[in-house]
Amino acid sequence: MRVTRETKTLDFMLALGTSLREQCSAVVNLIAVSGSMSRSKIMDELGWSRSTTTRAVTTLLDERLLLEDLTHDGVGRGRPAALLRLNPTAGTIVGVDLGFTSVRVILAALDHRVIASDESKLAPSYGADEGFRAAREMVERLLRSTGTSWEKVIGAGFAVGAPIDSESNSVTLESLRQHWTGDLQAWASQYFPCPAFIGNDTRLACYAELLWGTGRDYDNFIYLKLHSGTGGCFVINRTIVAGAKGGAGEIGHMIVDPGGEICRCGGRGCLETKVGVPAMLRSLSPALGAQVTWEDVRGHLADGDAATLRAFADAYDAIGQASASLCNILNPQAVILGGALSRTSPDIAQTVGDITRRHALSINSDVRVEVGELGRNSAALGAVAYVLMQGIV
């Protein structure tokens, strides 16, 4: 499916001179990821003069891409402060989470509010073509149901469950995602008539939690994605550690059992072979049958089934021990959990927290373990953040 590019809502930017366009873009991207702020805060953040700031802000207010709210200081004196925020109706962003067995799409307003969402189940070995096609079909339906046109869509971000080379936009470990070879950004652009951006799903989910979720409260934290795959992401001084080629954080492939199962990465005894959803389903099949699904497991857990409780206790031990090792290395303020496993059992944060603190060095005794508040939208929201960060104009 080939598509042609259409005129964009924000095309007024293209008519501006280069320097003013870049300045407007910087203001929009700053407010998009940091939230509403005053003119003086923009000056400080971007290191600009008052006149440069005023010129860019005035242009954006005239085009109604920015709106201005007056707030009082709370004691009834002094001039009200003007806070600038993005006009949420000025554009729509598509976020896509290309998981192992499902594709989830969201439409988000410029203030990252989720307007609509949908999800499709696909076969575990689905390829990029199938994934992008399913995403495009869902987006078309969501655009129609919300009365939005492609003209309003500023960009689409794609979260892929595999390590992504940040320079070539390709999957670096193809055994993890077969049928996903080549430049995925170029591939996505064949299906989506808007700028497209590709990133690793765990890192994007972490980015969303950092900006808009549980990570807002922490400068240093570890994000663990506990899903079909097991991933990690480290935030140090509110910056995500990417690594030399964008491959940092693959804690799912940390060896926790040298005599354990062969992993899909080609290694043996990786954490993912103990706590990934497919691994847990395999371990439960002698007790619950080979066809057992994660939905079944949720029910068995709620019912207190002995085998299911055993499987979860073992998984929590493995996660807690891995988390303790990571805490000893990074000494974070918090460990934030995401993925299906984090949403299955209400006691996961408490239990993994207790195990983490028990095994970690005493300097980590107050580390907090929490479930990320953005839930199943986290990776798709991270993809939205990625668009806002670098692709809005």
> Which amino acid, one-letter code, is at 306?
A
Shortest reach from residue 270's CB to Zn ion, in Å: 3
Shortest reach from residue 263's CB to Zn ion, in Å: 3
Instruction: Please report where in the chains the tokens 């149901």 appear, as a residue.
Output: 145
**How far, in Å, CA of 362 to CA of 364, rounded?**
5
In the bound state with Zn ion, the residue whose beta carbon lies nearer, of 127 and 267, is: 267
Query: Helix 378-390 crosses helix 201-212 at what angle (to 10 degrees)?
Result: 80
In the bound state with Zn ion, the residue whose beta carbon lies nearer, of 257 and 347, is: 257
In the bound state with Zn ion, the residue whose beta carbon lies nearer, of 35 and 267, is: 267
Cα–Cα nearest to 274, from 214, 322, 220, 338: 322
Is residue 43 within 8 A of residue 53, CB to CB? The reply is yes
Q: Is the C-alpha dihedral spanning 206, 212, 213, 216 positive or negative?
A: positive
In the bound state with Zn ion, the residue whose beta carbon lies nearer, of 9 and 200, is: 200
Tell me which residues touch Zn ion (CB under 5 A): 253, 263, 265, 267, 270
> Which amino acid, one-letter code, is at 205?
A
In the bound state with Zn ion, the residue whose beta carbon lies nearer, of 194 and 263, is: 263
Shortest reach from residue 223's CB to Zn ion, in Å: 19
Instruction: Please report where in the chains the tokens 């001084």 appear, as a residue.
Output: 237
User: Maximum distance among all alpha carbons in the chain?
Assistant: 71
Pairing of strands 334-338, 368-371: parallel
Shortest reach from residue 162's CB to Zn ion, in Å: 12
Shortest reach from residue 104's CB to Zn ion, in Å: 24
Give bridge partners of residue 37 from the DSSP assignment: 84
**How far, in Å, CA of 139 to CA of 153, rounded?**
11
Shortest reach from residue 361's CB to Zn ion, in Å: 26
Q: Helix (H, G, I), strand (E, B), or coil: what is residue 276? A: coil
Is residue 158 within 8 A of residue 205, CB to CB? The reply is no
In the bound state with Zn ion, the residue whose beta carbon lies nearer, of 104 and 253, is: 253
Shortest reach from residue 294's CB to Zn ion, in Å: 20
In the bound state with Zn ion, the residue whose beta carbon lies nearer, of 136 and 253, is: 253
Shortest reach from residue 340's CB to Zn ion, in Å: 19
In the bound state with Zn ion, the residue whose beta carbon lies nearer, of 270 and 392, is: 270
- Burial environment of residue 275 by CB neighbours within 10 A (0 to 12, 13 to 18, 19 or more): buried
Q: What angle is formed at CA 227 by the lines to CA 207 and CA 350, rounded to 5 degrees?
A: 80
- Burial environment of residue 358 by CB neighbours within 10 A (0 to 12, 13 to 18, 19 or more): exposed
In the bound state with Zn ion, the residue whose beta carbon lies nearer, of 39 and 253, is: 253
Phi, psi of 102 (to 5 degrees): -155, 155
In the bound state with Zn ion, the residue whose beta carbon lies nearer, of 270 and 341, is: 270
- Burial environment of residue 116 by CB neighbours within 10 A (0 to 12, 13 to 18, 19 or more): middle
